[in-house]
Homo-oligomer: A and B are copies of this chain.
Amino acid sequence: MLELARTPELCAEITLQPVRRHGVDAAILFSDIVVPLAAVGVELEIRPGVGPVIEAPIRSAADVRRLRALEPDEDLPEVAEAVRLLCAQLEVPLIGFAGGPFTLASYLIEGGPSKAQTKTKAMMLSRPALFRDLLDRLAGIAAAGLRAQVRAGAAAVQVFDSWIGSLSRPQYERHVAPPTRALFSEIADLDVPRILFGVGTGYLLESMAATGPDALGLDWRTPVSEARRRLGPDIALQGNLDPAALLAPTPVLEDEARAVLAGAPSTGYVFNLGHGVLPDTPPGAPGRLVELVHEHALEAAA
């Protein structure tokens, strides 16, 4: 996985496959959120069926201080090269990709994927200044990686802070929103849409919007109409079909997709799944969904 993400031709090929096969309107760079961590020297591997596993999890102030900044040109030139290859071939925009600071911190502190993020929260609550230092560094790494992708041609960027939904709102606002805000302001000059996404974050949307992204990705738990009502028209929304709908028979998939589209605003909205494509998804289903959404868009425009 790490090798694929760092081999420009293969990374480009994997990124292109869903565009060719399903006819989607944008591509998202194939990568993993831990790729930049490996590039700054964090020893890790991505284990099949498990996810990223960190050799020496972060426990101490010395561990945090060892996490250096990302210099994309030297540390990760393959990603920019993949973006350049892609932009030469793609007829649709390419979305750049980075992990958000809390989710990256969780991997580093837990040593791998975790349900309850116990160690992460223990550090957050017990050593808030150290935790903040770590998140500031990770926000810097994410910003540097996204800047390199945009310079190479990415037309938008999405920050996946997938696990922030394990935090209470006061915890998010105190410990995670400030470095996230720094991340978005650090790349504001790039003048591309900046999207923020997390899973199970319906109760956090206002706090996430306040960190400064141009768009929020919604999972399937928050109706798009509710998000628009709560957040107002100045932030774009993206989402939010339950990926499990792609495993249902076509008429059910169509009903579920139409329900999402019926509640979506006519502007400032991008149809998307509410989370990643599930491994058991029948290969023909995403293409059928794309057709349905395109038909809907044509009808709406007519």
Q: Is the CB of B244 within 8 A of A278?
A: no
Q: How far is the CB of A290 from chain B (nearest CB, A)?
A: 19
Q: Is the CB of B165 within 8 A of A200?
A: yes
Say which one of A6-14, A217-225, A264-272 lies at the interface with B. A217-225
Which residues of A (74-122) have their CB < 8 Å from a CB of B? 116-119, 121-122
Query: A280 in the interface, Cβ–Cβ < 8 Å?
Result: yes
Query: A132 in the interface, Cβ–Cβ < 8 Å?
Result: no
Q: A200-B200, A278-B116 are in contact. Are A125 and B256 (CB under 8 A)?
A: yes
CB-nearest residue of chain B relative to A253? B125
Query: A232 in the interface, Cβ–Cβ < 8 Å?
Result: no
Q: A168-B221, A171-B242, A221-B168 are in contact. Are A278 and B118 (CB under 8 A)?
A: yes
Query: A61 in the interface, Cβ–Cβ < 8 Å?
Result: no
This chain: how many copies in the complex?
2
Residues of B close to A119: CB separation below 8 A: 280
Q: For this complex, into which size category does the number of interface residues on chain A fall? A: 35 or more
Residues of B close to A126: CB separation below 8 A: 247-249, 252
Q: Is the CB of B222 within 8 A of A122?
A: no
Tell me if A's interface is mostly helix, strand, loop or mixed. helix
A223 to B170, CA, bound (A): 10
Q: Is the CB of A221 within 8 A of B169?
A: yes
Query: A33 in the interface, Cβ–Cβ < 8 Å?
Result: no
Residues of B close to A125: CB separation below 8 A: 244-245, 247-248, 252, 256
- Please name 19 pairs of A and B residues whose Cβ atoms are closer than 8 Å in the assembled complex, sorted by A: A116-B243, A116-B275, A116-B278, A118-B244, A118-B278, A118-B280, A119-B280, A122-B247, A125-B252, A126-B252, A165-B221, A168-B223, A168-B242, A169-B221, A169-B223, A171-B242, A200-B200, A202-B203, A203-B222
Closest 7 pairs (CB-CB, A-B): A121-B244, A125-B248, A122-B247, A202-B203, A126-B248, A168-B220, A125-B252
